[in-house]
């Protein structure tokens, strides 16, 4: 299906006009293969899967223009969301090359790249950009190369330097993090920036994950899904802006769960960059409201069971404890073990009608 963008620039703040089309809901990457959830390494080869968010190495969808407008807003307001330590400049150029090659190969109707030695011409028709530049010369671009290409890429980007048997977050452009800060984490090792995560350390998950990541080879990218919940379709839930969004958790009621509570899924992609040996760490964020998610067969029941049985430590870490009772109560109407099939179908129809009315 040809790539089509939302007809308006949607907002991820203030009036929150972001919505998913029925097609976007169907391809939403639900991160729960079972009725329960516990941390695991859950890394798999990044092989194509047609008709899903995994079809291409880098996913571009209907929200592209909206997310790029949001990114520009955040970067212009807070330049510290883009940081590149001096030894990561080569990796920044490699990231620009990776994105331009991927986009022009997989979405040629919107992106083109022409090369003449180190003289490149990049065209992004979606954002009305045409740029001639010299690879390796930062003054031929309007921004540093990592920020330049991140302003045209959905999802956050972190670049991990590999040295001394560890990975260090030494560069990145991060405008839609799930309650963390690039300015705080830059320069940290793999275990340092994962230190707040409960249970996983005791289970040895990060030891196994680090060993796996250190051995990623050029040409063999890998991916995994991570998730949390967000109140309202807000992309920028950074530590820096907690004073703006933290209070939203206290506004959830049984009556507004469906529209307010959003599943926030990160498609995390790791690619070995050939010249610098750094790892490209892409964190592609997808948002969908509970009303949207329960329109898919079986998803409401699965969400109910996952949220109901989630270990308390994980619920606390993900920041959902305060409104978890309201969420579980609302989701219970979609669980056939609690409701009859007829009642579950009626609840799904009601949620679909609410979503349709808000999307129109």
Residue 116, SS3 per DSSP: strand
Task: Return all residues near 122 (Cβ < 8 A) that are at least 6 apart.
Answer: 100, 111, 112, 113, 129, 130, 131, 132, 133
Which of 188, 157, 186 lies closest to 174 in space, CA to CA? Answer: 157
Task: Return all residues near 221 (Cβ < 8 A) that are at least 6 apart.
Answer: 45, 46, 57, 269, 270, 271, 272
Q: Identify the residue whose tokens are 């919107």.
A: 110
Which of 30, 19, 26, 18 lies closest to 1 in space, CA to CA? Answer: 26
Contacts of 136-139 with C-beta under 8 Å, sequence gap 24+, read 136/93, 138/89
Backbone φ and ψ of 63, nearest 5°: -95, 10
Buried b (16+ CB within 10 A) or exposed e, 209-247: bbeebeebeeeebbbbbebbbbbbbbbbbbebbeeebee
Which of 25, 32, 29 lies closest to 49 in space, CA to CA? Answer: 29
Q: Identify the residue whose tokens are 């699965």.
A: 302
What the block records as the tokens of 229 is: 């919940």
User: Which residues are the active-site residues?
Assistant: 224
């Amino acid at each position: 299906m040809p790539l089509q963008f939302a007809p308006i620039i949607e907002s991820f703040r203030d009036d929150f006009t972001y919505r998913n089309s029925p097609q976007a809901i169907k391809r939403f990457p639900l991160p729960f293969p079972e009725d329960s959830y516990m941390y695991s390494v859950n890394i798999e080869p990044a092989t194509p899967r047609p008709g899903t968010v995994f079809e291409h190495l880098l996913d571009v969808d209907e929200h592209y223009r909206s997310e790029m407008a949001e990114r520009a807003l955040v970067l212009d307001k807070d330049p510290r969301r883009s940081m590149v330590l001096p030894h990561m400049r080569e990796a920044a150029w490699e990231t620009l090359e990776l994105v331009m090659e991927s986009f022009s190969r997989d979405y040629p109707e919107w992106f083109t790249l022409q090369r003449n030695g180190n003289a490149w011409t990049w065209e992004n028709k979606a954002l009305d950009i045409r740029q001639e530049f010299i690879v390796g010369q930062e003054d031929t671009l309007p921004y540093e190369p990592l920020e330049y290409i991140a302003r045209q890429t959905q999802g956050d980007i972190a670049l991990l330097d590999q040295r001394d048997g560890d990975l260090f977050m030494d560069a990145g452009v991060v405008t839609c993090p799930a309650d963390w800060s690039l300015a705080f984490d830059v320069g940290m090792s793999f275990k340092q920036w994962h230190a707040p995560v409960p249970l996983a350390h005791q289970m040895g998950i990060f030891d196994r994950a680090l060993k796996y990541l250190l051995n990623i080879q050029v040409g063999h990218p890998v991916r995994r899904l991570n998730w949390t919940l967000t109140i309202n379709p807000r992309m920028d839930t950074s530590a820096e802006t907690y004073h703006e969004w933290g209070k939203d958790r206290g506004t959830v009621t049984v009556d507004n769960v469906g529209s307010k509570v959003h599943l926030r899924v990160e498609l995390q992609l790791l690619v070995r960059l050939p010249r610098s040996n750094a790892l490209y760490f892409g964190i592609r964020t997808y948002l969908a409201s509970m009303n949207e998610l329960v329109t898919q067969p079986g998803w409401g029941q699965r969400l109910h069971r996952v949220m109901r049985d989630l270990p308390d430590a994980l619920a606390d870490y993900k920041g959902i404890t305060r409104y978890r009772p309201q969420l579980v109560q609302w989701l219970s109407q979609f669980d056939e073990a609690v409701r009859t099939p007829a009642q579950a179908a009626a609840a799904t129809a009601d949620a679909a009608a609410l979503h349709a009315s808000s999307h129109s």
